[in-house]
Structure 1
Amino acid sequence: MSSVISDATRRRARTSSVVMSRLMQFFMSIEVKHKTGTVVESLITHANGYIKDHAIFRFRVIGEAKIVAILEVEDATVLDTVTSELMYRGPFKVTCTPLTSYERWAKLLGVDVKLTGPAPRKLTGKYVTWFEVTIEHHGIPLEQFLEYWRDEAASILEQRSNGQIEIEIFKVLGERRLHAFSCKDNPEDWEGLMLKLPMWVKMGDQIYKKTKLVTQML
């Protein structure tokens, strides 16, 4: 009997592993278009409901009529349905960008496998800082650039592993762009931390960031 249970458990584990490997991640932005008389809060609530079942993170951009979210789906065509439903229900501008796991990318760069396991999916602060980052490497040989990036990824993931920061990072598929979400008691503490990060120290003039404060949506 124990052998049967053990075999069944192993089969479930293998099935779960296959399913997880098929999951695709996307960054979705949903913005309420400006129109006189628009009830923004009602539309934001409806939009949140439409994506809720597919999102691992949903954020309201503070001071804007906008939601950004990280979606995870087995079938990308699900997003066509979500987008169609959103645009049918209200004056929404919707964009969707494919992502890849930052931990997987860090592993490809050569970061220690102890740091490249599954992300904790943990953001507990009242306010979350959203960084939209583009990285260039003009005049820097590719091999050296990737070495800088490896050191950067290792530094951030090690700090997360040690509990020094809460951060979730997602890389845009096929591009040198990132979406990062992080919690700190005082968001301004990020200014000091960034000055110590390897890539910022070595090539900070080629890192372009847009920063917003967001709150997690229930």
Structure 2
Amino acid sequence: MRPAQSLPIRALQFDGLGQRFGDTSPWLFRGLSAKFLGGERCAIVGPSGSGKSTLLSIVAGWLDPTEGTVEQEGLERVQWVFQNPHGVARRAAIDHVALPLLAAGARIATADAEAAEICAVVGLSHLTDRRPFSMLSGGEAQRLMLARALAVKPDLLLVDEPTAQLDRQSAATVNSAIASIGAAGGIVLIATHDPDTAAACDRIIDLAEFAAVSA
């Protein structure tokens, strides 16, 4: 009998993280320490201007923190899902999910089959009818972005305000999709103002608790 194959170790840690822009500007957050392990989904919440998207940018390495450190282990593939879904209007929606698989060397038939499986995870099984991207609703397009990100098999998935521009019904479909991801062992961080999105995660960090005045 073959031994069970364990998932790779993935970890992300914040130590005393703080961010502000300029020596006299107020801190967006300060003293943030937390550790995340593979498979966790964490919602980053807080009022507008509290630094949710800024924190994701720090984690991605796009921005240096004002103070503190970010340590990563086993996070080689980092993928973003932004607020505004984007794709090739006339291209079949499911092709957007198959493309990363093809780029990784999969055969067309294999990529199409795996893309269909990933779409099923986020509630988009109906996209196997090869409808064009331009025909998708807002909720479908945002879930497709999640599916495309999952096709990359990311170690770390960063999702920025996935329901910010959706009506409540569309947002509910996206939140259901978020609740279904994470089983592959990657870490998922989601910046959100939506309490239902936060409820779909395993844990919540409220940046309002780490706000600080200028010092």
TM-score relative to the length of structure 2: 0.30
The structure carrying a bigger strand percent of its residues is 1
Bigger relative contact order, structure 1 or 2, given CA contacts below 8 A and separation 6+?
A: 2
TM-score relative to the length of structure 1: 0.30
